Amino acid sequence: MTNRPLYPIVQKLVDWLDKAGNEDVKGGMATAFVWVATNVDWGSIPPPGIAPESDSDDSSGLSQYIKILNDFVHWVPVEDKDGRTVYSFLCLFYLLLDHEAVVKYQAPIKPGEIAPWLWLSQWVIQYAKEVGKWMDTPMSLTEKSLQKFKDSPPYNVGAYDEPDGGWETFNDFFARKFKDYPTQRPIASPSVDTVIVNPADSAFDGDWEVTGSGMDAGVTFDVKGLHWTTNQLLDDLYDGDGNAVGPQFAGGRFTHSFLGPTDYHRMHAPVSGKVVAAKVIPGLCHLEAVLKPKDPEADPKKPGAKPFELFMHRYMRRVDDKSIPKEHRGIAPSAASVETFGTGMVPDAPNSPGYQFLQARGLVLIDTEGFGNFGLVAVLPIGMAQVSSVVLSVKKGQELKKGDEIAYFQLGGSDIVMVFQDKANVVFDQVPINTHRNFGEKVAVARPGKAPAASK
């Protein structure tokens, strides 16, 4: 496929594709790459240091895809003025995997799926780990590459505390800390335990009811008709009395927000209390990449036209959900052929909403007894794409004050989920979908003992 040496993790993929019986997925990857290269406005992707082979005699495009995968293993990240380079490349990587010709060879995003995963999904996990290892080396960050981030306003690098001697690796830089977070990120009503604050700088997606009752193991979240269980989200966690924790959230509320690559990537306690569980849960490394029409009125069949740009679909909703801001609605690659674009097609998701339940993630379970007394609060930092390294900063038995750090991520974007019990009677502040709020800002109030007032 390419005459250049391949890293072992990429060679592993090539060997698998060359095996008898894998002709369809091999052809699917080639088809996906050619379609993307033909129809997507690449903009800043592939980023500097990563590019398809210009001298390749492989007209299928597969060698170019392999070349990009190989270059990314030891990529030194850089940014542009708009802060879109890292974002765009993550989109490119997963858009190809999400293409209808390839996605069917990966673990489906649906309730009940558990490891061992299909071969290609497992390879993506291993690939992400290899990239993560590189990002932990000094070679992943240079003076020149760091300056690119400093010159990119969305990263706001000047607001962070650069250690003496500088950040040693890209992951060190990515998990950077504020210079003075109590001033930069004040905690709302620190002495009022029932005021719940945002655990991360993030964009709000919404809140939902946890359905079911009692200790029924079928207690679920209804995500666009898919019933994901609390047990699956919490990885079948049990309390000290041997009872499953998931069903104890029956009748409560669930909320989801997401971070972008330019956001501060440390998570903080939304409430005060005692940590009764803290664990990292292995899972998938997934991202739902979609296409966004650059100009809905343009003719996509015009020679040389590149009608689409790349976009991350981070919502727990269909890509065409009308509650999503119009500028953030996308078209799944399985639906976005040039022939059907603009003809009234119904976009569909390449995978189903709810990937958060299968991703690699952290779990910090906080008991608020003595701190507002509104039950258990589950906080889940959820990895996304190559950002599947969730590092916990707390341990079981530790007492937390609202705003204390609980975890951090490395490389890319990520999600944050909170789940509250019914007894908390949580009412969320009503803000539009995709509203970005900083950690420490008030997002909800617990009203234990009062009549329910469900969020809309």
Confidence of residue 143 (pLDDT cuts 50, 70, 90): very high
Rounded CA gap, 379 and 233, in Å? 11
Which two tokens mark 288? 């739902």
Give the pLDDT mean for 166-186.
Answer: 93
Is 280 found in the same domain as 143?
A: no
For residue 20, is it within any domain? no
For residue 142, is it within any domain? yes
Question: Nearest CA to 310 among 104, 87, 79?
Answer: 87
Share of the chain above pLDDT 90, in %: 36
* Three-state helix/strand/coil letters over the chain: CCCCCCCHHHHHHHHHHCCCCCHHHHHHHHHHHHHHHHHECCCCCCCCCCCCCCCCCCCCCHHHHHHHHHHHHCCCCCCCCCCCHHHHHHHHHHHHHHCHHHHCCCCCCCCCCCCCCCHHHHHHHHHHHHHHHHHCCHHHCCHHHHHHHHCCHHHCHHHECCCCCCCCCHHHHHCCCECCHHHHCCCCCCCCCCEEECCCCEEEEEEEEEECCCCCCCCEEEECCEEEEHHHHCCCCECCCCCECHHHHCCCEEEEEEECCCCCCEEECCCCEEEEEEEEECCECCCCEEEEECCCCCCCCCCCCCCEEEEECCCCCCCCCCCCCHHHCCECCCCCCCCCCCCCCCCCCCCCCCHHHCECEEEEEEECCCCCCCCEEEEEEEEECCECCEEECCCCCCEECCCCEEEEECCCCEEEEEEECHHHCCEECCCCCCCEECCCCEEEECCCCCCCCCCC
For residue 418, is it within any domain? yes
Is 259 found in the same domain as 165?
A: no
What pLDDT is stored for residue 418 in this prediction? 95
Mean pLDDT check: name the lowest of 45-54, 66-75, 368-377, 410-419. Answer: 45-54
- Of 147, 174, 201, which one is at a domain's C-terminal end? 174
What pLDDT is stored for residue 316 in this prediction? 47
Is 372 found in the same domain as 265?
A: yes
Residue 232 has pLDDT above 60, yes or no: yes
Can you give the residue range of the structural domain that contains 233? Answer: 181-285+354-445
Give the pLDDT mean for 312-327.
Answer: 50
Residue 224 has pLDDT above 50, yes or no: no
For residue 274, is it within any domain? yes
Is 142 found in the same domain as 281?
A: no
Higher-pLDDT residue of 36 and 218 is 36
Mean pLDDT check: name the lowest of 69-78, 177-186, 285-294. Answer: 285-294
- Of 174, 200, 227, which one is at a domain's C-terminal end? 174
For residue 193, is it within any domain? yes
Is 187 found in the same domain as 234?
A: yes
Number of structural domains in the chain: 2
What pLDDT is stored for residue 231 in this prediction? 83
Give the pLDDT mean for 292-315.
Answer: 58
For residue 21, is it within any domain? no
Summarised one tens digit per residue, pLDDT across range 363-400 is 999 999 999 999 999 999 987 766 557 889 999 999 99
Task: Tell me how crowded residue 182 is: count the other CB atoms within 10 A of its CB.
Answer: 11
Is 279 found in the same domain as 146?
A: no
Q: Which residues touch 155 (CB under 8 Å, ≥6 apart)?
A: 79, 83, 149, 262
Is 230 found in the same domain as 207?
A: yes
Is 169 found in the same domain as 189?
A: no
Is 276 found in the same domain as 143?
A: no
For residue 377, is it within any domain? yes
Mean pLDDT check: name the lowest of 13-27, 235-249, 324-338. Answer: 324-338
Is 441 found in the same domain as 358?
A: yes
Higher-pLDDT residue of 89 and 294 is 89
Residue 46 has pLDDT above 60, yes or no: no
Higher-pLDDT residue of 267 and 293 is 267
Is 234 found in the same domain as 166?
A: no
For residue 188, is it within any domain? yes
Is 204 found in the same domain as 189?
A: yes
Residue 3 has pLDDT above 60, yes or no: no
- Out of 146-160, 274-288, 410-424, the most confident range is 146-160
- Of 174, 200, 228, which one is at a domain's C-terminal end? 174
Going from the C-alpha of 453 to that of each of 193, 194, 196, 211, 329, the distances in angstroms are 19, 15, 16, 16, 30
What pLDDT is stored for residue 48 in this prediction? 54
